[in-house]
Amino acid sequence: MDDHGQRGYALPMRMIHWLMAAIMLYVIVVGFLMGNGFKVGKHYDYHRASGFLLMLLVVVRLLIYRFTTPPSPLPVSMSTLQKRAAEAVHFLLYASLIIQPFLGWYATNAWGVKNIPFFFGWTLPQLVEKDRDLGNFLLEIHHYLGLFITALVVIHISAALMHHFAYKDNVLKRMMKT
């Protein structure tokens, strides 16, 4: 508990949160470069593998959350609208981070990449036969979903900073210490 008697997130949740933040920054930057015609070499594979790793971390994070003591409730000073907005952004982030890697995997397979390298010599198996038209269509959806995820991340970070610096409440501190 912090000095205001507020309980933050458990250490595993905080570690996964900040690991996901770093991976998301990488995936977003590389995705932006890829989407704007830059040749990123091996980063294509790292982007794909990191996206799939993000999906796995979301699942692990949801399981850990289920079996650990949750943080203290959001401050009573937050309006119901703010609380619902926070819940919506979190839900949309989690859902998008599960859907987006599968969409990218399927699209990449459809585009013609059979075995997508993961980490430690593993590969993601082929889900679909080559169909460039389908692959291009799905990659376009993947692109727009990536922009949506980026917007959600910006909203999430902006809200956390607003709570910390403007409202001076413990919202951000919940992800900083137990």
Nearest Cα to Cα of residue 45 among 103, 119, 147? 119
**pLDDT tens, position by position, 135-150:** 999 999 999 999 999 9
Tokens of 48: 């794909």
For residue 165, being part of any structural domain is answered with yes
Residue at 5 is within a domain? no
What CATH number is associated with residue 64?
1.20.950
Query: How far is the C-alpha of 126 from the C-alpha of 114, rounded, in Å?
Result: 5
CA angle at 115 for the pair 113 and 120, rounded to the nearest 5°: 135
Look at residue 20 and tell me if it is in a domain: yes
> Residue 99: which domain range?
11-175
Please indicate, yes or no, if residue 2 is contained in any of the structural domains: no
Q: Is residue 148 part of a domain?
A: yes
Asked if residue 3 belongs to a domain, the reply is no
Whether residue 106 has pLDDT greater than 80:
yes
Does position 91 have pLDDT exceeding 80, yes or no? yes
Average pLDDT over residues 101-112: 96
Question: Within a domain: residue 70?
Answer: yes
Q: How confident is the model at residue 178 (pLDDT cuts 50, 70, 90)?
A: low
Tell me: pLDDT of 38 over 60: yes
Instruction: Kindly state whether residue 76 falls inside one of the protein's structural domains.
Output: yes
Neighbour-count burial of 144, counting CB atoms closer than 10 A to its CB (0-12 exposed, 13-18 middle, 19+ buried): exposed
Reference 173, options 32, 46, 39, 6; nearest CA is 6
Parallel/antiparallel/unpaired status of strands 123-124 and 116-117: antiparallel
Mean pLDDT across 22-42: 96
3-state secondary structure of 103: helix
Q: What is the pLDDT of residue 2?
A: 41
Number of separate domains in the chain: 1
pTM: 0.93
Say if residues 97 and 149 touch (Cβ distance below 8 Å). Answer: yes
